[in-house]
Amino acid sequence: MAHILIVEGQVPLGELWKRHIERSGARADLVSDAEGAMRVLNLEAVDLLVVDLALPDGGALTVADYAGYRRPAAKVIFVTSTTFFSDGSIFQHAANACAMLPADTSLDDLVALVDHYAAGT
């Protein structure tokens, strides 16, 4: 069973993602900030991260960078409500980035990507 770490500052949205991901058979944990993500990454094997790109103080890239160090096989799906990085440059800033989605992506599409990228774990 894949272990997914969701890092989303808007907890109700993160809980919605978590429920849908768990319905697909994965284990999911939700944290609301970079510090929480680092705690989970220190303690547990994580296969895939779903990270809100709008975390304060560059937290999303900090989380991706730390995941690359602590869990080098883990991939990161970034979710954003802005057009920043819409040129695809996120893949130059985060070597473990595998996708970037708009925040209004359907839950079914988010779960399909999570299933796809977690399948190799």
Predicted confidence (pLDDT) per residue in 31-47, tens digit: 999 999 999 999 999 99
Alpha carbons 99 and 91: distance in angstroms, whole number: 8
- Continuous segment of H or E residues that includes residue 49: strand 48-52
Q: Looking at the whole model, is its pTM more than 0.75?
A: yes
Q: Which helix (H) or strand (E) element contains residue 97? A: strand 97-102
Q: If pLDDT is split at 50, 70 and 90, which confidence band does 84 have?
A: low
Predicted confidence (pLDDT) at residue 109 exceeds the cutoff of 70: yes
